[in-house]
Amino acid sequence: MLVLGLETSCDDTAAAVLHDGKELLSNIINDQTSVHSKYGGIVPELAGRSHIDQIHKVILQSLKSAQVELREIDLIAVTVGPGLIGSLLVGMNAAKGIAYGLGIPLIGVNHLEGHLLAIFLQKKIEFPFISLVVSGGHTDIYRVNNFGQYKILGRTRDDAAGESFDKVAKMLGQKYPGGPIIEKMAMDGNSEAHKFPRAYLEKGSLDFSFSGLKTSVKTYINKRQTYKQGDLTDNDIAAGFQDAVVEVLCKKIIMACEKEGLTRVVVTGGVAANGSLRKAVESVCDRSGFKSWFPAPVFCTDNAAMIACAGYHKFNSFPESKADLLNLDASASLVID
Ligand code: KG4
Ligand code: ZN
């Protein structure tokens, strides 16, 4: 079965062709970094316009790169939420048009389910497992029981981890997206130079909070000169901040495994591309006798291969979930059910 996946929930226009759920024939991503970077974050109206400009080019490129004709596609999988509504509508309407024109089924995919199943592009993980989805919009811990069976165990109560990376980068005068920049700066910084606060919340809670950490970094930057360690560099701040995020994420992963009696962990979403996080999770899991997996960085950040993969499994496990073309709608705040 050939699946064409489309993803336009945020600031990446992406299309991918996947054969039988595992053989990735193409994975095209047009990221809008140059559109948004000077604003320090995503401008929704500009994101929507850029998707309109790019969607057809990206689809054609994905077919060409896969050496597949449009009429050979058997199923379309498209992100229908959560995300920016103007962005989601571009991908969804393109998908509807193609499905209607070809007379083939369309599957609406939750963006988070795409992240949760991205690992299956590379590896078949045995169910059940703990999955941390850590991105610019989400920091959620799930128990994944099977395809389509997800139980949320904890989520952020304020900023997502990726959002805090982006905001701290902006405070340090850096561009969007801040995650990769902070990671690079942290390599030349001393994470021990200043210990930023870690929010663990109530005892046993698997929720997260990153806004206090972000405020603490802001306060520190503003008052840098009056502190005793006034010579802390931007790289030290980046390293100290990253350390605080990584430590909290690691502790909550271990807590989730212990609470659920599970030993398999998958970490996914844009922030899972972070080398320090990958190393730290691997090391704490090893120490606890747990096994951890991460999608390749290109499948951690937003992409359409993960949407094609989730759509393939959803269609095979629940063929009745095929969308009604006239009634399918996008939802900015879609939840996983
Ligand atoms: O999954 P994603 O591409 O989009 C959302 O669904 O949000 O994640 C984007 C987020 C951004 O906040 C970006 O700064 C962060 O992931 N990110 C990183 C790294 N690469 C991307 N954060 C930390 N380290 C990275 N290497
Ligand atoms: Zn995402």
In order along its 337 residues, the chain shows pLDDT tens digits of 999 999 999 999 999 999 999 999 999 999 998 898 888 788 999 999 999 999 999 999 999 999 999 999 999 999 999 999 999 999 999 999 999 999 999 999 999 999 999 999 999 999 999 999 999 999 999 999 999 999 999 999 999 999 999 999 999 999 889 999 999 999 999 999 889 999 999 999 999 999 999 999 999 898 876 666 567 899 999 999 999 999 999 999 999 999 999 999 999 999 999 999 999 999 999 999 999 999 999 999 999 999 999 999 999 999 998 888 888 999 999 998 6
Per the CB < 8 A criterion, the answer to whether 234 and 178 are in contact is no
Instruction: Give the binding-site residues of ligand 1, using a 6 Å CB cut-off.
Output: 10, 135-137, 162-163, 165-166, 177-180, 183, 269-271, 273-274, 301-302
23-31: strand order across its sheet: 23-31, 12-19, 2-7, 75-81, 106-110
Which listed ligand is nearest to 109 at the C-alpha?
2
Beta-strand ranges (E) seen in the chain are: 2-7, 12-19, 23-31, 75-81, 106-110, 129-134, 139-146, 149-155, 264-268, 291-293
**Cα–Cα separations (whole angstroms), residue 51 to 13, 35, 91:** 6, 11, 8
Distance between CA atoms of 197 and 214, rounded to whole angstroms? Answer: 9
Determine the atom of ligand 1 nearest the C-alpha atom of 160: 12
- Alpha carbons 37 and 176: distance in angstroms, whole number: 5
Which residue out of 163, 301, 306 has the highest number of ligand 1 atoms within 8 Å of its CB and is therefore the one to mutate?
301
CA separation (Å) from 96 to 108, 186, 248, 322, 324? Answer: 10, 44, 41, 12, 10
For ion ligand 2, residues whose CB falls within 5 Å: 135, 302
- In Å, what is the CA distance from 139 to each residue of 55, 220, 246, 267, 294? 28, 24, 12, 11, 15
CA of 224 to the centre of ligand 2 (A): 34
